[in-house]
């Protein structure tokens, strides 16, 4: 993974310091499909830290650990054998682009939670990717109805540049929370900052509240 002093990280730290892209408006998804400060795109821009891991199906694993009654480790074949779901959702990137009506296929996070059963004290999730990227989520956001561990987009397998073979999609939060190349999920009793959260970005990231940057 690109280190904390990469050019992209320095630039986005400056955005956080300057409050770049903030409009000060607040909207709700029930009344405004496009969050404040966002613009629509028809393509799907590629954003990462400059390194795309090479992941072979035979070596791919997803470990679900931490505060779970049934911690599990899935091979690619194990994961594909889980119940499969389809979701339709919009996505919103903190860099101001949004894309409507994305069709996903994969494993619903709710189906995964039914298998591993987080313990009562688990209220947050830490996500870790193959490139070392991390990001945090409240468990309630991870368990959203339209959240999915996606393997396909628009009927095709996810390409590596978009996080294939599997990534998380949590549509109601800024897209940096939807970790690419996911390999580990940890259930935690308290919140911990991930990569961008340590670099000036908000701990939750609600687009309709413009939670782009940390309040600190």
Tokens of 52: 């795309």
- How sure is the predictor about 111, in pLDDT bands with cuts at 50, 70 and 90? very high
In angstroms, rounded to a whole number, what is the distance separating the alpha carbons of residues 87 and 194? Answer: 26
**In this structure, what CATH number is given to the domain that contains residue 168?**
3.90.420.10
Percent with pLDDT over 90 in the chain: 80
Note whether residue 75 is domain-resident: yes
Query: How high is the pLDDT of residue 49?
Result: 61
Which of residues 164 and 6 earns the better pLDDT score? Answer: 164
Residue with tokens 């468990």: 139
Task: Please provide the average confidence, as pLDDT, over all residues in the chain.
Answer: 90
Note whether residue 53 is domain-resident: yes
Mean pLDDT within 3-11: 59
Q: pLDDT tens-digit profile of 159-178?
A: 999 999 999 999 999 999 99
Mean pLDDT within 33-41: 96
Query: How high is the pLDDT of residue 21?
Result: 47
Q: Is the pLDDT of residue 202 over 50?
A: yes
Note whether residue 215 is domain-resident: no
Note whether residue 126 is domain-resident: yes
Least confident of 46-50, 77-81, 89-93, 111-115: 46-50
Note whether residue 103 is domain-resident: yes
Note whether residue 148 is domain-resident: yes
Note whether residue 214 is domain-resident: no
Alpha carbon dihedral 138, 140, 146, 148, in 10-degree steps, equals 50
Provide the 3-class DSSP secondary structure of residue 69: coil
Which of residues 52 and 122 earns the better pLDDT score? Answer: 122
Which of residues 31 and 41 earns the better pLDDT score? Answer: 41
Q: pTM of the predicted model, to two decimals?
A: 0.86
- Before 165, cis peptide (omega within 30)? yes
Instruction: Give the CB-side neighbour count of residue 215, counting CA atoms within 13 A.
Output: 6
Which of residues 52 and 194 earns the better pLDDT score? Answer: 194
Sequence-distant (≥ 6) Cβ neighbours of residue 81 within 8 angstroms: none
Backbone angles phi, psi at 28, to 5 degrees: -125, 145
Domain count across the chain: 1
Query: How high is the pLDDT of residue 11?
Result: 57
Residue with tokens 């339209």: 146
Backbone angles phi, psi at 131, to 5 degrees: -90, 5
Q: Is the pLDDT of residue 188 over 50?
A: yes
Are 194 and 174 within 8 A, CB to CB? no
The domain containing residue 194 runs over which residues?
7-209
Note whether residue 86 is domain-resident: yes
Q: pLDDT tens-digit profile of 137-148?
A: 999 999 999 999
């Amino acid at each position: 993974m690109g280190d904390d002093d990469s050019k992209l990280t320095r630039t986005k730290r400056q955005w956080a310091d300057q409050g770049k892209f903030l409009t000060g408006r607040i909207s709700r998804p029930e009344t405004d499909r496009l969050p404040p400060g966002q613009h629509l795109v028809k393509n799907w821009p590629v954003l990462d830290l400059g390194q795309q891991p090479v992941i072979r199906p035979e070596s791919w694993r997803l470990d679900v650990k931490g505060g779970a009654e049934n911690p599990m480790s899935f091979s690619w074949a194990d994961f594909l054998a889980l119940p499969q779901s389809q979701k339709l959702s919009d996505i919103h990137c903190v860099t101001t682009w949004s894309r409507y009506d994305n069709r996903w296929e994969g494993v619903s996070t709710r189906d995964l939670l039914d298998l591993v059963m987080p313990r009562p004290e688990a209220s947050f999730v830490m996500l870790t990717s193959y490139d070392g990227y991390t990001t945090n989520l409240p468990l309630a956001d991870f368990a959203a109805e339209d959240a999915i561990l996606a393997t396909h987009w628009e009927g095709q397998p996810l390409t590596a540049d978009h996080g294939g073979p599997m990534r998380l999609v949590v549509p109601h939060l800024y897209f940096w929370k939807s970790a690419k190349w996911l390999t580990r999920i940890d259930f935690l009793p308290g919140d911990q900052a991930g990569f961008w959260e340590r670099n000036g970005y908000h701990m939750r990231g609600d687009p309709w509240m413009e939670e782009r940057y940390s309040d600190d």
